Structures are given as structure tokens and as C-alpha cells.
Amino acid sequence: MTYKHWKQLYLAQFTIFPLLVFLLALISMKWLGTFLPAFVAGGLWCLMFAVVSVRLVFWRCPSCGEYFRGRIFGLPKRFGKSDTCAHCNKNIDGMYR
């Protein structure tokens, strides 16, 4: 997968998660009388969210080989557009910005 796909998956997970877990909780409570399926789905969704987040943080720039977003822990090296490398200022598509 490309950086763009990982970022789209991240945003989709972030926006869909509350609605999905809420609907699953309502349905499971009505049909099964328990929230357990919603807790399991929420836990799996959070695990998947963490995997995608780590993958984005550890993405390496194809041009310079450094971490694309800058520093791994703490604040990013540079704030702004996340499609541009923090070290060489190349776009993820390989163009300078």
C-alpha cells in the first residue's frame, strides 16, 4: 500500500469508529442482551487503528530515506502539509514543493 492509501485508511477508521461501535452496541443489546460484541469489535478496531498509525509514523521517504513526518516521538519536525517530507521537502509523489 502507498502512503496515500494508509492515510485514507487512517481517516476512514477515525471517522467510522464511533458510529460503528454505537450501532453494534445498540443491535447487540437489543438482540443478545449484552454489549460484548461491541466491546470486541471496538477492541479490534482500536488495534487496527494502532497498526495503521504506527505504519504512518514509521513511513520512510523514498527520496532521502529518513522518516517522512520527521521525528518519531514528540512533536513533528515541521508542521504543515503531511504529504511533504520533513527533511528533503519532496512530496510523496516525488515532486519538490
Domain ranges of the chain: 3-57, 60-97
Per residue in 36-74, pLDDT tens?
888 888 888 889 888 888 887 777 777 777 777 666 554
DSSP string, 68-89: TTS-SSSS-SS-S-TTB-TTT-
Query: Would you call 68 exposed, middle or buried from its count of C-beta atoms within 10 A (0-12, 13-18, 19+)?
Result: buried
Please indicate whether residue 95 or residue 48 has the higher confidence score (pLDDT): 48
Q: How many residues does the chain have?
A: 97
> Looking at the whole model, is its pTM more than 0.75?
no
